[in-house]
Copies of this chain bind each other. A is one copy, B any other.
Amino acid sequence: MKGNLLVVHGGGPTAVINSSLYGVITEAKQNDKIDKIYGAIGGTEAILKENFLDLGKTNDEKLKRLLHTPGTAIGSSRFALEQEDYQEMVKIFKKNNIKYVLFNGGNGSMDTCGKAEKACEGEDIYVVGIPKTIDNDLSIIDHAPGFGSAAKYIAATTAEIGADVKSLPIHVCVIEAMGRNAGWITAASALARKNEKDAPHLIYLPERPFDEEEFLEDVKKLYDELGGVVVVVSEGLKNKDGESIVPPIFKTERAIYYGDVSSHLSNLIIKRLGIKARSEKPGLSGRASIALQSNVDREEAILVGKEAVKAAVAGHTGVMVGINRIPGQKYKIETSLIPIEEVMMHERVLPKEYINERGNDVTKEFIDWCRPLIGEDLLDFLSFKDEM
């Protein structure tokens, strides 16, 4: 008997989450075990509200727009479900003849996915996870869709700002990258370099305690040498006591708000070193930029979407589609199915071997690992200035 499929997006968007949705819809459309293709419009919250939209009738021209649409075309939420919500969810699935449920998201969504699968035990319902996170902090897999584009964005942006600063070397630029606990995106800025002395000149990761004095020393030395310096920092830098290096600006019962790390550090450079400094915080652009989407990332995002449909229809449940890198010279991946409890709520940070000794740069090992993920090579810039 045919069943309906439901796809749900959780947490923050990426530049390719809609590419996974494209993969889901196109695969499901041609699968004769699937009847209706529902999107939960507005994340997990939408399941409980039965905010379902039939996506199956979308024409191809419209579907292709998903490949270059940022945000998430079906919406998302950060809604945390309670135990009774999961029981309610099962009833809603059955009522709507939903047999296949796909959760697309990061750590939080995989947690939801695992709990939903538990709640569906004994039912003819199959729950599969699709990995997604710009932060690349999902464990077990080689990397998550969304990260490659965020990596390409920060690398291209750092290269462009680097060219600007090199041509008019009058200041230090502090660029803030997303990733509060895991430094994967910040680290990827290193891919901007084509030649020696290219930006980024310094990289500070949240995995290492930030030392203000060492930072100022490093900046001063490079400024004296180059005149223009580009520093990339994680939004989540912490001191040796594990506290944010930016003092909190406001506290509510539910959250603490911190100021921007890039502003904080550029102000510090001005005040302590008397050197002109500016902050650049591309922020959400880093996950929403379509012009700097990685083609490899996009293709992999489509693939995991398709694989999730196939897995659910084949009767797998409680698994997430994983991406494994096949060892060898040429970059190649394969997908696998990973038991959801192995990935639930484990945050993967940058390993030690990817960070240099002084904690102000990444290693060649990291660059070799990361380069294939951004897809096509970055542009080659021309500098007559370098020829003098």
Contact residues in B for A76 (Cβ distance below 8 Å): 167-168
Q: Does A271 contact B (CB under 8 A)?
A: yes
If A42-B385, A62-B382 touch, whether A70 touches B163 (CB-CB below 8 Å) is yes
Docked complex Cα distance between A74 and B70 (Å): 36
Contact residues in B for A72 (Cβ distance below 8 Å): 167-168
Question: Among residues 132 to 153 in chain A, which have CB atoms less than 8 Å away from a CB atom of chain B?
Answer: none
| B385 and A161 form a contact (CB under 8 A) | no
Interface residues on A, range: 35 or more
Interface-lining segment among A81-89, A205-213, A276-284, A299-307: A276-284
Q: Does A234 contact B (CB under 8 A)?
A: no
Q: Does A383 contact B (CB under 8 A)?
A: yes
Contact residues in B for A55 (Cβ distance below 8 Å): 384
Q: Does A41 contact B (CB under 8 A)?
A: yes
Interface-lining segment among A119-127, A257-265, A353-361: A257-265
Given contacts A78-B168, A164-B288, A259-B267, 16 further A-B contacts (CB under 8 A): A51-B388, A53-B384, A53-B387, A62-B382, A65-B380, A68-B381, A71-B165, A71-B168, A73-B385, A157-B289, A164-B287, A257-B267, A260-B279, A278-B283, A280-B282, A281-B282
Q: What is the count of identical protomers in the complex?
A: 2
If A70-B160, A73-B384 touch, whether A270 touches B257 (CB-CB below 8 Å) is yes
| A383 and B168 form a contact (CB under 8 A) | no
Contact residues in B for A168 (Cβ distance below 8 Å): 11-13, 43, 71-72, 75-78
Interface residue from B170, B173, B288 paired with A78 (Cβ < 8 Å): B170
Docked complex Cα distance between A69 and B170 (Å): 19
Interface residue from B71, B252, B281 paired with A280 (Cβ < 8 Å): B281
| B381 and A164 form a contact (CB under 8 A) | no
How close is A153's CB to chain B, nearest CB, in angstroms? 10
How close is A351's CB to chain B, nearest CB, in angstroms? 29
6 A-B pairs whose Cβ atoms sit less than 8 Å apart in the complex: A69-B383, A74-B167, A163-B288, A164-B287, A252-B274, A280-B284
Contact residues in B for A156 (Cβ distance below 8 Å): 291
Interface residue from B13, B39, B290 paired with A384 (Cβ < 8 Å): B39
Docked complex Cα distance between A356 and B359 (Å): 50
Q: Does A112 contact B (CB under 8 A)?
A: no
Q: Does A177 contact B (CB under 8 A)?
A: no
| B284 and A282 form a contact (CB under 8 A) | no
How close is A28's CB to chain B, nearest CB, in angstroms? 14
Q: Does A155 contact B (CB under 8 A)?
A: no
| B281 and A41 form a contact (CB under 8 A) | no
Q: Does A1 contact B (CB under 8 A)?
A: no
